[in-house]
Amino acid sequence: MNSKIRTCQNCKQQFTVEPEDFQFYERVKVPPPTFCPDCRLQRRMTFRNERSLYKRTCDLCKKSFVSMYSPDPPQLASGEAGKPFTVYCKECWYSDNWDPLAYGQDYDWNKSFFEQFQELMRKVPRIGIMHIHTNINADYANYIADNKNVYLSHSVIFSENVYHSRNIDKSKDIFDCFYVKDSERCYEDVDCSRIYRSKYLVRSRDCLDSAFLFDCVNCQSCFMSSNLRNKQFVFRNEQLTKEQYAEAMARMNMGSHAARERYREEFQCVMRGALHKFGNLMKITACIGNNIENSKNVRDSFDLYDGENLRFCMRNIKSKDSYDVAYAASTELVYEAISAGFGNTRTSFVMQCDANERSAYCEWCQSSTDLFGCTGLRKRQYCILNKQYSQSEYEKVKAKIIEQMNNNPYKNKEGKVYRYGEFFPAEISPFAYNETMALELFPLGKEDALAAGYSWHDPEPYPHTPTLKAENLPDDIKDVDDSIRKEIIGCPNCGRAYRIMPAEFDFLKREGIALPRKCVECRHKDRFALRNPLKLWHRQCMCDYKVWKNSAKHTHHPEGRCPNEFETSYAPDRPEIVYCESCYQSEVA
């Protein structure tokens, strides 16, 4: 089959469905999409709320707990308030004190499937916060699995002592980091792996006792440098002896806030002047995207490792043969899923599901097979809208529903048509647009979001009054005592209040790091700005003969500009120097 150009229902832009895409859709028995890849991602992300947390009461045991569901319904595009959901704390939701099958309903052939699924969503209790397996002392963390001591951190697995961080795997003592794995004693690191006792590292791996490094590998005791390989005692990209390095570092006061701000500004210049490889790709075969490691045949994907045969995916671990999947591990043959959890196989259009097989249009279902349009089921089979069927009845009714979805599709107020093969309409999401990951990846203001059919949640005024302004904090961590733990600090950037947690204070003291001068949210935004977008542009290598004419390294273009072209997450208007693999390796390796 040849490539076909389609027009996206949502943004009206054209996108291409390629022959291998048709082969995958045929394999999982779904029609080709009618939304472009970006709009599909945006739609899925409206169903994932990581960072907006609220205090509310469990609707079963009446205990107060932290939840991702606001007790106040969001404002809908129509201007009305949305309907509230029944929300349980994690202990009650996982208990045997309620039965999801008790909410089962017969299929109404006079209504669309998505209307009926939304009705079911509003009836079945929802878990207030996403915790998989055993998590100890992690009440203020969301979308986590098998952790201990996690606070205001999200998408964290198999880790311990993680504070104010996101996307952390198999790590310990991690503070204010973003996308870090297999690491320990880290502070303000972004896109790093296998690093120890290091701070302010970006896109680096296998480094030890270092600070302010960009794109460095296997380095120890290095400071304010870029593009290093297998180095030790490098200071501002200059090789020193051990004694010279110790003397230079003795003049650097990492515990001073004023000094740190000067280092930050210097580091911005270091990163801009460094060589940038077109993509952060390591140990890969036939991969296109960014931040991909140990993978094969992965295209148009980001932030994943140990993957194979994936496209339009992000934040995947050990997944294979899947399209349009975000936040998943050990999955296979999955299509259009968000927060797909661990071990899903042959599932499509699912969210917040774990270890399911041969299921579609489900949420919050676990260890189940052959489900269609279900929510909250565990260890069940042959269910539709939470109603139990025999195997033959299930297959018959399911086929009839798919036929009805195609012949009488759901249409929303914006005129978008949802037949079988479309992910859930964004308007049935239990979250407001500005509560979800969609806002971070596809920013919209309130008026634009409501005009596009999304809901919006106006946050309540912050309940805490600062007792201390950030600008009045002691400059040096040496001058800070335990009384700081009692203070409520006012963020000078956004006005929010924040606290220095006991474990955080102990870490900063031990490592000699200045107190943060911004709230948790503003610090996260600063780290997010250091990452490239989840988008690719076609570009040509910027290496030019005029730049390296005294070098014999670049033998593949002896005169003029390098002819190599690639897909990269660096937009053409960015200032960085972006090289192809050959030119980059010639200069850096």
Mean residue pLDDT across the chain: 94
- At residue 341, the pLDDT reads 84
Contacts of 131 (CB under 8 A, 6+ apart): 90, 138, 141, 144, 145
Residue 541 in any domain: the answer is yes
- What global pTM score does this model have? 0.94
Residue 415 in any domain: the answer is no
Contacts of 251 (CB under 8 A, 6+ apart): none
**CA distances, 267 to each of 223, 271, 273, 381 (Å):** 10, 6, 10, 55
Q: What does the pLDDT look like over 12-21, one tens digit per residue?
A: 999 999 999 9
Question: How would residue 558 be classed by pLDDT, with cut points 50, 70 and 90?
Answer: confident
Residue 357 in any domain: the answer is no
Count of residues making up the chain: 589
Q: What does the pLDDT look like over 251-267, one tens digit per residue?
A: 999 999 999 999 999 99
Angle in degrees, CA 176, 181, 183, rounded to 5: 75
Q: What does the pLDDT look like over 373-432, one tens digit per residue?
A: 999 999 999 999 999 999 999 999 999 999 999 999 999 988 999 999 999 999 999 999
CB-side exposure of 547: number of CA atoms within 13 Å?
14
Q: What does the pLDDT look like over 122-177, one tens digit per residue?
A: 999 999 999 988 999 999 999 999 999 999 999 999 999 999 999 999 999 999 99
Looking at the predicted structure, is the pLDDT value of residue 353 above 80? yes
**Domain end marker among 272, 299, 315:** 272
- At residue 83, the pLDDT reads 65
Question: How would residue 78 be classed by pLDDT, with cut points 50, 70 and 90?
Answer: low
Regarding whether 263 and 212 lie in a shared domain, the answer is yes
Least confident of 288-292, 337-341, 400-404: 337-341
- At residue 548, the pLDDT reads 61
- At residue 143, the pLDDT reads 96
Contacts of 204 (CB under 8 A, 6+ apart): 189, 191, 192, 195, 198, 210, 213, 214, 215, 216, 217, 219
Number of CB atoms found within 10 A of residue 100's CB: 20
Average pLDDT of 206-232? Answer: 98
Regarding whether 264 and 334 lie in a shared domain, the answer is no
- At residue 2, the pLDDT reads 85
Report the alpha-carbon distance of residue 213 to residue 292 in Å, rounded.
20
Average pLDDT of 219-244? Answer: 97
Residue 307 in any domain: the answer is yes
Domain span including residue 263:
188-272
Regarding whether 244 and 204 lie in a shared domain, the answer is yes
Looking at the predicted structure, is the pLDDT value of residue 72 above 60? yes
Regarding whether 522 and 490 lie in a shared domain, the answer is yes
Residue 481 in any domain: the answer is yes
Contacts of 483 (CB under 8 A, 6+ apart): none
Task: State the DSSP code for 74.
Answer: P
Regarding whether 268 and 195 lie in a shared domain, the answer is yes
Question: Number of structural domains, the chain?
Answer: 5
Residue 505 in any domain: the answer is yes
**Domain end marker among 345, 366, 394:** 345
- At residue 464, the pLDDT reads 80
Residue 19 in any domain: the answer is yes
Residue 569 in any domain: the answer is yes
Looking at the predicted structure, is the pLDDT value of residue 47 above 90? yes
Q: Do the Cβ atoms of 201 and 190 come closer than 8 Å?
A: yes
**Domain end marker among 272, 290, 315:** 272
Q: Specify which residues 55 forms β-bridges with.
A: 66
Q: Do the Cβ atoms of 454 and 432 come closer than 8 Å?
A: yes
Average pLDDT of 512-529? Answer: 96
